[in-house]
Amino acid sequence: MGNASPAGCERRRRVSWRRLRGLAALLVWTLAPFVAAQQKPNLAELDIEDLMKIEVTSAAKKEQKLQMIPAAVYVITPEEIRRSGATSVAEVLRLVPGVEVARVNSETWAISIRGFNSWYSNKLLVMVDGRSVYLPTFSGVSWWSQDLVLEDIERIEVIRGPGASLWGSNAVNGVINIITKSSADTQGGMFSAGGGNEDHGSGVGRYGSRVGSKGTYRVFAKYIDRGSYVDSTGADMHNGWGLSHGGFRSDWAVSDRDSLTISGDIYSGNGAPVFGVVIPQPPFQQDLNLPRNIDGGNVLLRWQRTWAGGSRSTLQAYYDRAHEFSPVYGMTQHTFDLDAQYQWRMGRRHEFVSGFDFRVLSERSQNSLSLAVRPQDQTFRLFSGFLQDEIAIIPNHLKLTLGSKFESNDFSGIDAQPTVRVLWMLKPQHTVWTAVSRAVRTPSFSDRGSEMPVAVLPGPVPTIITSMGNPEFRSEDLLAYEAGYRAQPTTSTTIDVAAFYNIYHHVQGAGPLGVPWLETEPPPVRVIAPMPTNNLFDAKNYGVEVCTSYAPVHGWKLYAGYTWLKSSSHVDPAYAATAFVMMAPGENPVHQLQFRSLLSLPHAVEFDNFLYYVSRLPVQSVRAYVRWDVRFGWHPRSNLELSVGGQNLLSDRHTEFSPLIPLLSDGQVSRSIYGKLTWRF
């Protein structure tokens, strides 16, 4: 796709903003009669959650009230998930201001926080109940395999900004922790089914009960069939995706002081995504539908104890197996992780959290001419420990947090990732915080040993430019400065503002070209021009994130969010002419805006609207877009819910992300409708 002219871009920008203002006016006009019909609200009954009393565990590896957290945190509640109309965790994350969610095709998303978005966002740590789903093969998350039962999610905690002082390497730009409900909270049965023109069909069955007087359990099974996407011409890409998922969770109150959780999952999926395969003869690249099959599973065990005096300890272990195969690339991966932590107080002013983690990951790769990771058999070991002290300088008013994670791994040796955070409670329901932190992104298997053709230079003997891993590639590192203000000035209004200035060093790039060589097998004869992975450039990302909520009347919630992000990079002058900067600043939208309205009407009817604006991605030639989603819900009985909705209603289709990696072909998000039934018994 060619670059649009400045004048054309400006015209589209004016049209987008006019359309956005018109939609907002239409929404207000549509809802005005409903609002007028409502009685004057009792502020004590308003539906806005008490911002300062929301419990968060991911920010400090312990339960904390949001009021007392010196970090940019957003918590997605079960009610927000239910009324979003989303069918995947990836789509639910659109609700969070400051998170860029871009759908690439039927099974792939590009998701990041504070920049550096890509097919695999390598600076974002994602966990499910504290179990990392970050893949060290390519440094990122395979969102196509994270198909959780949305009704079983207790909350999703999103930390915008580094969390490496507690969670370690790769928690660079943010942390997402998906926390599922205790089996005690999912007793009885639940059946859900739905479908539409994009997600053709989905079904969930779940049942929970008791085990004796101290235990509970639940089991579930889920299936989803996602339809194929279309390309820029409107042609069907034939890249649908199907996934089956089942699992269990059991919780035990072993004693007054001890609790035990055991959970496990298995899954299997298949599809035929479109791969852009580089070949050494005309047309030099072919887009092919090639089968991709995945399967895997995990089991997790967590023991928690409360000691005399209020101290707490947690011991967690999990095993995870993941297998993926396609003609382009395959791998089988085994992960074992053991994590322990201890929380205690010292005097009136000091509260400590400490712990250690040991992880072993082994992988066997199945290579092809389009993508290879070498050596084929690899083992990665990580040892880490952390210590954090929260110091109440002025109890209930001024708090200082000091902490650091110390890691040793096979790729980058020993790294320290410290943080200093200060929180000042100006008055009840008003807090100001600031922080300085360091975080690192450790090399992946592919960073150090991959081979992937990316382009062909035609000639009598074609030259194939091949991205090559570099055994000398070292960790990227971040120095982050943050500040924020969080308040609930009235019982019906909340506001959260965060600003950040991130300085990155030794960021990944490719080049300069190395010494070429001739290959004759398999035919045809070709020249290989290696373009090694290197720590080529430095970068700066800075911006502001604002989110606010308001309940004008009982039964109506309004949410608004805005993100402004600017980026710049500086390439080593010695490589500037020949280097390729991966994840360039232009891959991130400068502006993101969202507006949500959740309206509860008489007769158990719900009317929900979601409006999103995302500015253009100039490097990828992706235009700005406005997305409008609508949902109607009805509860004819307390245990029965029916809903219908539409997504992307403003356009037939649009592109949200166009990966610079030639191996993956992007599709276009189309207008869709859906229906869903949920029955609890």
Nearest to 487 by CA among 556, 427, 552: 427
> What confidence score (pLDDT) does residue 40 get?
40
Q: Is the predicted pLDDT of residue 131 greater than 90, yes or no?
A: yes
Q: Is the predicted pLDDT of residue 584 greater than 90, yes or no?
A: no
pLDDT band at 32 (very low <50, low <70, confident <90, very high): very low
Q: Is the predicted pLDDT of residue 4 greater than 70, yes or no?
A: no
Sign of torsion over alpha carbons 18, 23, 26, 27: negative
Q: Is the predicted pLDDT of residue 364 greater than 90, yes or no?
A: yes
Beta strands 398-409 and 672-680 are unpaired
CA gap 514, 529 in Å, rounded: 6
Is the previous residue joined to 375 through a cis bond, with omega within 30 degrees of 0? yes
Kindly report the CA angle at 119 between 234 and 117, in degrees rounded to 5? 110
Q: Which of 18-27, 331-340, 558-567, 630-639 has the lowest mean pLDDT?
A: 18-27
Q: Is the predicted pLDDT of residue 309 greater than 50, yes or no?
A: yes
Sign of torsion over alpha carbons 70, 134, 153, 610: positive
> What confidence score (pLDDT) does residue 2 get?
40
Q: Is the predicted pLDDT of residue 485 greater than 50, yes or no?
A: yes
Burial environment of residue 487 by CB neighbours within 10 A (0 to 12, 13 to 18, 19 or more): buried
Beta strands 605-614 and 591-601 are antiparallel
> What confidence score (pLDDT) does residue 108 get?
87
Kindly report the CA angle at 608 between 604 and 610, in degrees rounded to 5? 170
> What confidence score (pLDDT) does residue 523 get?
86
Q: Which one-letter DSSP state was computed for residue 471?
A: T
Give strand ranges (E) for 144-213. 153-160, 174-180, 188-196, 199-211
Output the CA torsion 446→448→450→452 (10° steps). 90
> What confidence score (pLDDT) does residue 15 get?
47
The arithmetic mean of pLDDT across residues 172-176, rounded, is 95
pLDDT band at 17 (very low <50, low <70, confident <90, very high): low
Give the tens place of pLDDT for each residue, 403-423. 999 999 888 788 999 999 999
Which token pair is 627? 């997305």
8 Å CB contact between 433 and 422: yes
Hey, is 25 helix, strand or coil?
helix
> What confidence score (pLDDT) does residue 273 get?
85
> What confidence score (pLDDT) does residue 603 get?
93
Euclidean distance between the first and the last CA atom of the chain, given in angstroms as a whole number: 52
Nearest to 180 by CA among 210, 151, 142, 214: 151
| Helix, strand, coil share (%) of the chain residues, nearest 5 | 10, 60, 30
Helix (H) or strand (E) holding 593: strand 591-601
The number of residues in the chain equals: 681
pLDDT band at 19 (very low <50, low <70, confident <90, very high): low
The arithmetic mean of pLDDT across residues 72-91, rounded, is 94
Average pLDDT, the chain: 88
Q: Which of 16-20, 55-59, 518-522, 594-598 has the lowest mean pLDDT?
A: 16-20
Q: Is the predicted pLDDT of residue 666 greater than 90, yes or no?
A: no
> What confidence score (pLDDT) does residue 47 get?
52
What are 594's strand-pairing partners? Answer: 561, 612
Give strand ranges (E) for 213-309. 215-226, 241-252, 258-271, 274-278, 285-289, 292-306
Per-residue CA distances from 310 to 120, 307, 313, 399 (Å): 41, 6, 10, 20
Give the tens place of pLDDT for each residue, 373-388. 989 999 989 999 999 9
Q: Residue type at 408?
A: S
Name the residue with tokens 């905690």: 157
> What confidence score (pLDDT) does residue 340 get?
96
Q: Is the predicted pLDDT of residue 39 greater than 60, yes or no?
A: no
Tell which phi-psi region holds residue 603, choosing left (phi > 0), alpha (psi between -120 and 50) or beta. Answer: left
The arithmetic mean of pLDDT across residues 184-198, rounded, is 95
Give the tens place of pLDDT for each residue, 504-557. 999 988 878 889 999 988 888 999 999 998 888 899 999 999 999 999 988 999
Give Dmax (Cα) for the chain. 80
CA gap 253, 357 in Å, rounded: 25
Is the previous residue joined to 97 through a cis bond, with omega within 30 degrees of 0? no
Q: How far, rounded to the nearest angstrom, does the alpha carbon of residue 437 sit from its chain's CA centroid?
A: 21
Give the tens place of pLDDT for each residue, 222-267. 999 999 888 888 888 888 999 999 999 999 999 999 999 999 999 9
pLDDT band at 11 (very low <50, low <70, confident <90, very high): low
